[in-house]
A and B are shown apart, each in its own frame.
Chain A
Amino acid sequence: MSLDISFIGILIGSIMASSVPLILAASGELITERSGVLNLGVEGMMIIGAISGFALMVITDNLFIAIVGSMLSGIIISLIFGFLTQSLLTNHVATGLALTIFGIGLSAMLGKNFVGIPGKEFPILFSSLKESIPFFGPILFGHSIVLYFAFALPFLTNYFLKKTKLGLVVRAVGDSPVSASNQGINVILVRYCCILYGGAMCGLAGAYLSLIYTPQWIENMTAGRGWIALALVVFATWSPIKVLIGALIFGGITILQLHMQAIGFRIPVQFLSALPYLMTIIVLVVISRDSRKIKLNTPTSLGRIFYREK
């Protein structure tokens, strides 16, 4: 392994690629949580997005339909969560868990006939620039369109929440649903929209895995990334830009341990594979230790049921 400058460029490029599903899912969940809804079904929505994206690609042979379809299926499955928590006022934690269990089962059932089918190459942009510019080439160019979208998303999310009126509405609904409701805002409707948006982003995150990152369908292929995305939202103290930083750190750990495995590092593979999960715990401990900071940043009504007598 040579540590020359072009290798570092390729390394950074691959770290970026592995952080994409985390950025997408965590950014989506961040909006959902900002509206006061805790959806623990991220893993379930991601895996549904992964299988429906892959299945649609195989059936239609059209990557655009596959990507849009994965987002739609994320929306559909998050609608179950929305209906239960918002219309039937169920507990957010339990419903989210149900969504994950259901999603994993459903994806395995739907995916039974798609195991072992090779994926299709996903088009990359600016592939000529990737080769011709040393160091910056592999970092900036030669990625899929989804990656560029993912890296723009935290900034868009930040802008949306801080600078737009709708963003203010979302934050108001999350921090004080009663006052928002008194102002004439339809709290339930806003929360529905945020849940469905989160579902779409998680669906896209799943499709990124099955169509672009490792183009094939494997059962349980999200492997806990949905949960890491949930942890990232806490890590980021509900700030979109910090989600990006956190996702890159986790992408970095993933790539680092893969490289350590590849060069035959003297640590058992399983310990290296456990690193991202252990890191999540350590990061959560460090970030949560200051309970005041967490309290200040958590959407005040997160996970609480809102009900208004009609």
Chain B
Amino acid sequence: MIKIEKRNDVPMALYFFTPFIAIVLTILGGGIIFYILGFNPIEALKFYFITPISNLYGFSELLLKATPLCLIAIGLSFCFKSNNWNIGAEGQLTFGAIVGGGVALLFYNQEGFYILPLVILAGAIGGMIFALIPAVLKTYFNTNEILVSLMLVYVSKLLLDYLVVGPWSNPEGFNFPETRQFSESSRMPLLFEGLRIHAGIFLALAAVMLSWFILYKTYLGFQIKVSGLSLKTAKYAGFKGKTMILVVFMISGACAGLAGVGEITGPIGQLHRMISPDYGFTAIIVAFLGRLNPFGIIFASLVVALTYLGAETAQIFLQIPKYTGQVFQGMILFFLLASDYLLFFKVKILSLKKNELRH
């Protein structure tokens, strides 16, 4: 006999434990999908989750992919914690990359220590400005931020497409849809010879520390958390709701912009059409899987980055379509949301005897 009871408060340990349940369920679900597709599930899962990180190069690739995910998710956690649904991080990433890339292109034939900081700053500002559009429309015109931020993703991608095909395309590039290569000074320094992992990872780690400080040690963080829990309380306490909305969107946009700049100055080295394999959308999953907690997000970004790598490896070795990665990502979020049920409800399995005794 199963009895379901509502919990009075959420146990903290369980709150951070359910993401692990979600991951295990996703792996099981993945095994089933591989079986249906006609692959040996054990072998496929091995190629998916173990092979990619079994050597140093693979591990560096994992960190490389986790970096933008972590950065964006940290930014999103500010929005989501305060009940602002910014789902257009992909657009903010793209616009940040456009602005940062534009600055890098200005200096394409110059070298100098000041170039990279300028490019990074430009990227962050670009993302910030782009995120301000839905924020301003939300605060002053009452417009739904979900739809506006999402529409802007398409707009930013078309703008990038226009730039790399048209005015910014490489004059010596035989009409390929790409810009010139950035100069060495606009590139993120590599951390190790022969590996692609670059200094952008420090940006992500700095964002983690900073966000922890803001969220848990400052008045702004307190305001954000209270507004997320109860808008009425926030109003009663006299918090300036509009300013806060603008601030969380700016933080979120800046982080996404940084992620974009990290990609183009790191592994890519120029602007072209495909600068992000939907990192901005996947980071939404990372933010939730990490429980909107800065350190949880580090862990979650590694897990989700593995689905990207695993999808690539499985495609190379087993010809499993790489889109299984996205299916996995969707499944993680489904299972995470489902396992949240355990947070709010206690599932008791009562033996019949006990039950009889009680009545």
A residues contacting B by CB (< 8 A) are 40, 80, 84, 88-91, 93-95, 97-99, 101-106, 108-109, 112, 223-224, 227-228, 230-231, 234, 268-271, 273-274, 277-278, 280-281, 284-285, 288-289, 291, 294, 309
Listed stretches B59-67, B122-130, B191-199, B331-339; interface member: B331-339
Across-interface contacts of A270 in B (CB, < 8 A) = 158-159, 161-162, 165
Q: Considering the complex of A and B, which 9 residue pairs feature the smallest CB-CB distances, nearest first?
A: A102-B330, A105-B326, A98-B333, A270-B162, A108-B323, A90-B337, A109-B323, A105-B327, A270-B158
Distance between Cα atoms of A234 and B145 in the complex (Å): 12
Distance from A87 Cβ to chain B, minimum over Cβ atoms (Å): 9
User: Do the beta carbons of A104 and B326 come within 8 Å of each other?
Assistant: yes
Across-interface contacts of B144 in A (CB, < 8 A) = 231, 234, 284, 288
Give the contacting residue for B323; candidates A84, A98, A105; CB below 8 A.
A105
Across-interface contacts of A108 in B (CB, < 8 A) = 321, 323, 326
Distance between Cα atoms of A123 and B230 in the complex (Å): 55
User: Do the beta carbons of A281 and B152 come within 8 Å of each other?
Assistant: yes
User: Do the beta carbons of B158 and A281 come within 8 Å of each other?
Assistant: no
Judged by a CB distance under 8 angstroms, whether B259 is at the interface is no
User: Do the beta carbons of A274 and B158 come within 8 Å of each other?
Assistant: yes
Listed stretches B42-50, B95-103, B249-257, B281-289; interface member: B281-289
A-B contact pairs, 19 of them (CB 8 A): A40-B146, A84-B337, A93-B85, A94-B288, A97-B87, A99-B330, A101-B281, A101-B285, A103-B330, A105-B323, A106-B323, A227-B147, A227-B151, A231-B151, A274-B155, A274-B158, A278-B155, A280-B147, A309-B6
User: Do the beta carbons of A274 and B154 come within 8 Å of each other?
Assistant: yes
Judged by a CB distance under 8 angstroms, whether B233 is at the interface is no
Q: Which residues of B99-153 are within 8 A (CB) of A? A: 137, 141-144, 146-148, 150-152
**Contact A268/B162 with A102-B327, A227-B147, A281-B148 known, Cβ cut-off 8 Å:** yes
Judged by a CB distance under 8 angstroms, whether B325 is at the interface is yes
Distance between Cα atoms of A228 and B151 in the complex (Å): 8
Across-interface contacts of B158 in A (CB, < 8 A) = 270-271, 273-274
Across-interface contacts of A271 in B (CB, < 8 A) = 158, 162
User: Do the beta carbons of B330 and A106 come within 8 Å of each other?
Assistant: yes
Across-interface contacts of B146 in A (CB, < 8 A) = 40, 93
Q: 20 additional contacts, CB 8 Å, given A277-B154, A285-B137, A291-B142? A: A84-B338, A93-B146, A97-B87, A98-B285, A102-B329, A105-B325, A105-B326, A106-B330, A108-B321, A227-B150, A227-B151, A270-B161, A271-B158, A271-B162, A274-B158, A277-B151, A277-B152, A280-B151, A281-B143, A288-B144
In this complex, the member of A99, A285, A309 whose beta carbon has the largest number of chain B beta carbons within 10 angstroms is A285
Distance between Cα atoms of A277 and B88 in the complex (Å): 13
Across-interface contacts of B321 in A (CB, < 8 A) = 108-109, 112
Judged by a CB distance under 8 angstroms, whether B340 is at the interface is yes
Across-interface contacts of B284 in A (CB, < 8 A) = 97, 101
Across-interface contacts of A268 in B (CB, < 8 A) = 162, 166
Distance between Cα atoms of A277 and B156 in the complex (Å): 11
Q: What number of B residues sit within 8 Å (CB to CB) of A? A: 44
Distance from A282 Cβ to chain B, minimum over Cβ atoms (Å): 10
**Contact A90/B340 with A98-B333, A268-B166 known, Cβ cut-off 8 Å:** yes
Distance from A270 Cβ to chain B, minimum over Cβ atoms (Å): 4
Distance between Cα atoms of A291 and B344 in the complex (Å): 33
Across-interface contacts of A227 in B (CB, < 8 A) = 147, 150-151
**Contact A288/B151 with A98-B334, A109-B324, A281-B137 known, Cβ cut-off 8 Å:** no
In this complex, the member of B154, B162, B282, B288 whose beta carbon has the largest number of chain A beta carbons within 10 angstroms is B154
Distance from A215 Cβ to chain B, minimum over Cβ atoms (Å): 22
Across-interface contacts of A105 in B (CB, < 8 A) = 323-330
Distance from B15 Cβ to chain A, minimum over Cβ atoms (Å): 15
User: Do the beta carbons of B333 and A94 come within 8 Å of each other?
Assistant: yes
Nearest residue (CB) in B for A105 is B326
Judged by a CB distance under 8 angstroms, whether B16 is at the interface is no
Across-interface contacts of B337 in A (CB, < 8 A) = 84, 88, 90-91, 94-95, 98
Distance from B262 Cβ to chain A, minimum over Cβ atoms (Å): 22
Bitwise, B255-285 to A at CB < 8 A (1) or not (0) is 0000000000000000000000000011011
Across-interface contacts of A224 in B (CB, < 8 A) = 150-151, 154
Distance from A224 Cβ to chain B, minimum over Cβ atoms (Å): 5
Across-interface contacts of A285 in B (CB, < 8 A) = 137, 141, 143
Distance between Cα atoms of A285 and B142 in the complex (Å): 7
User: Do the beta carbons of A80 and B334 come within 8 Å of each other?
Assistant: yes
Distance between Cα atoms of A284 and B327 in the complex (Å): 31
Distance from A102 Cβ to chain B, minimum over Cβ atoms (Å): 3
Nearest residue (CB) in A for B159 is A270
Distance from A126 Cβ to chain B, minimum over Cβ atoms (Å): 36
**Contact A289/B330 with A40-B146, A108-B321, A281-B148 known, Cβ cut-off 8 Å:** no
Across-interface contacts of A88 in B (CB, < 8 A) = 337-338, 340-341
Distance between Cα atoms of A89 and B337 in the complex (Å): 9
Across-interface contacts of B155 in A (CB, < 8 A) = 274, 277-278
Distance from A132 Cβ to chain B, minimum over Cβ atoms (Å): 41
Nearest residue (CB) in A for B163 is A270
User: Do the beta carbons of B150 and A90 come within 8 Å of each other?
Assistant: no
Across-interface contacts of B137 in A (CB, < 8 A) = 281, 284-285
Across-interface contacts of A280 in B (CB, < 8 A) = 147, 151
User: Do the beta carbons of A89 and B141 come within 8 Å of each other?
Assistant: no
User: Do the beta carbons of B324 and A97 come within 8 Å of each other?
Assistant: no
Distance from A205 Cβ to chain B, minimum over Cβ atoms (Å): 18
